[in-house]
Chains A and B, each alone.
Chain A
């Protein structure tokens, strides 16, 4: 079922928030105001917006390293504090983890964000436990983990799918197949370039979808979440997409491929075309959405920069629950 205009506009705004977030972050990273490493989700906005639209704050998701956008959308939607994701990436006290987690370890359980784990894909094992607890308590919730195509090489991928299927756990596997793991093409690293082929043997529904088409991605997540909430067990979704960020040092992919994904199959351009094709939205109004998203991100960046650094007492806080860290 096609989305109505209102929904399309909402999702378009979310997608622009994600892109503006990442562009703003890249700019600041180059300036040196954002420490550490940076992996961006530019190009994958439709996938992230579709997930964010369906996950409630009582659900959970384990975001991967390209999910700043998903984190910010959940934070903004459920708590109205998207700026705290930005502040976390700047390592500030106002961040969701007080600056101790950063880009690769942002979490806020109050909005369902159970945290990235920079050991890529380890949470494929962890997600089982959340799902198991909810199943034992008869809570119709969804435990989602976001994994890249490269990450499915982990042994935990198979341990997780096997147990989720055997125990009929409410797990949503959101596999973001963007064609590469750093420099390695998906087809060279795995027995199939289509990850659903690897997952099917475990007997759970496996669906591949164009992750750059917001309508298709939205509908796919909607169906997966309904299946899980109805108690039918796990669901595997593979989003075919592409990340704009190449290697950290630059582009390595064929020019024609780059052109296709950036020009012809860009999720934001596709969404804009859909909106305009309804004939019921003025171009100026659509431009306005983009401008507002960019302005909002600049406010978040200003918030982050103006925020205090964590106090030194935080360095040794929360090593153990209830005990001081050893002084030696």
Chain B
């Protein structure tokens, strides 16, 4: 169960996720789903569509608005061998089950000295850009970054969505699986059958020699679009998609930056305390002598996310901010 062997078909991001759930449920009866309106309705975004009919109400389990109980149930059942996949409708509601994820799922293997594990996956829809307002648009990975024991995954393509979800369900650690709402309808090639995209392994989404752009989730397509713009000026940007956000793949990122000597790190979250800060700091620490310019960092403005699309556009970063940061990094004088 690693690399795909079957040919790829075109599927949406949502369909790719459904395929992963279906495959894992068919193979292992310990895999079950729980969350709000995931049964007959198939989930707010349709990720569990068709699974209720196929697997029944026991394994595709509707819950009330009880986020702590949803994740608590997942954790408890995982302690006795189940492999639950919980859906939290919007990532913004992770505050309601923060304690279960941070103080329970992420710690019980450690604090009980290996006697328990919590192989849970918590899937959730994150990200903005659609007028969802302050409570349906946030990028939440920063809330969880300094929690040892937790794995955070964030796919950017349909193929990765499927392979990473398969890998997350198979993994014995608790996984927070972030799905960016703006990517749900994106189509792309998705191999048939079961395959896993390994956790903790970034992808080089586009090779290049002049600068490294590190991105994830929705910022990956934005970075690829930025690379197109830069290419028109003869600048070859390498785009790295982190895919696993915690622990992130330092090897792939650092070896790229050592080669290009320049880096931009892009995230949709506010810059303060975010993943881009950690990646930037690590590059600065590890690649100091290879860097020809200070690391550029792209993120949201330090505000909540407003409802008005006009205002939201001011807050959230995209292709243009990445291009701008890249030009700044490219124009900077060498450090030494």
Report the minimum CB–CB distance from B272 to chain A (whole Å): 21
Tell me the bound Cα distance from A114 to B115 in angstroms: 9
A136 at the interface (CB under 8 A from B): yes
A-B contact count (CB 8 A): 144
Stretch at the interface among A69-77, A95-103, A223-231: A95-103
Stretch at the interface among B103-111, B222-230, B295-303, B307-315: B103-111
Contacting A129 at CB < 8 Å: which of B64, B79, B114, B282? B79
Is A318 a contact of B113 with CB atoms below 8 Å?
yes
Which residues 192-212 of B have a CB within 8 angstroms of A?
A: 200
A80 at the interface (CB under 8 A from B): no
B173 at the interface (CB under 8 A from A): yes
Is B116 a contact of A125 with CB atoms below 8 Å?
no
Q: What is the size, in residues, of chain B's interface with A at 8 Å between Cβ atoms?
A: 44
Tell me the bound Cα distance from A134 to B333 in angstroms: 64
Is B113 a contact of A132 with CB atoms below 8 Å?
no
Is A97 a contact of B76 with CB atoms below 8 Å?
no
B81 at the interface (CB under 8 A from A): yes
Contacting B109 at CB < 8 Å: which of A129, A136, A319? A319
B73 at the interface (CB under 8 A from A): yes
Contacting B76 at CB < 8 Å: which of A107, A133, A317, A325? A133
Tell me the bound Cα distance from A156 to B108 in angstroms: 19
Report the minimum CB–CB distance from A320 to chain B (whole Å): 5
Is B104 a contact of A122 with CB atoms below 8 Å?
yes
Is A163 a contact of B80 with CB atoms below 8 Å?
no
Is B115 a contact of A122 with CB atoms below 8 Å?
no
Q: What is the size, in residues, of chain A's interface with B at 8 Å between Cβ atoms?
A: 46
A293 at the interface (CB under 8 A from B): no
Contacting A122 at CB < 8 Å: which of B72, B73, B111? B72
Tell me the bound Cα distance from A238 to B212 in angstroms: 62
Is A130 a contact of B80 with CB atoms below 8 Å?
yes
Contacting B58 at CB < 8 Å: which of A98, A136, A166, A322? A136
Contacting A125 at CB < 8 Å: which of B72, B115, B148? B72
Q: Which residues of B contact A97 (CB under 8 A)?
A: 111-113, 115
Q: A100-B111, A107-B115, A115-B112 are in contact. Are A129 and B76 (CB under 8 A)?
A: yes
B77 at the interface (CB under 8 A from A): yes
Is A125 a contact of B173 with CB atoms below 8 Å?
no
Is A163 a contact of B100 with CB atoms below 8 Å?
no
Name B106's closest neighbour in chain A (CB-CB): A319
Is A101 a contact of B112 with CB atoms below 8 Å?
yes
Name A328's closest neighbour in chain B (CB-CB): B282
Is A101 a contact of B69 with CB atoms below 8 Å?
no
Is A320 a contact of B173 with CB atoms below 8 Å?
yes
Report the minimum CB–CB distance from B295 to chain A (whole Å): 17
Report, nearest first, the 9 A-B pairs whose CB atoms are least far apart. A125-B72, A129-B76, A129-B77, A321-B172, A159-B69, A159-B66, A129-B73, A126-B76, A98-B113
Enumerate chain B interface residues (CB-CB to A < 8 A). 32, 58, 63-64, 66, 68-69, 71-82, 84, 99-100, 103-104, 108-117, 119, 148-149, 151, 171-173, 200, 247, 282
A-B contact pairs, 27 of them (CB 8 A): A60-B80, A100-B113, A101-B111, A101-B112, A105-B112, A115-B111, A125-B68, A125-B72, A125-B76, A126-B75, A129-B76, A129-B84, A130-B80, A132-B76, A136-B82, A156-B68, A156-B72, A159-B69, A160-B69, A162-B64, A162-B69, A317-B113, A317-B114, A318-B110, A320-B109, A320-B151, A320-B173
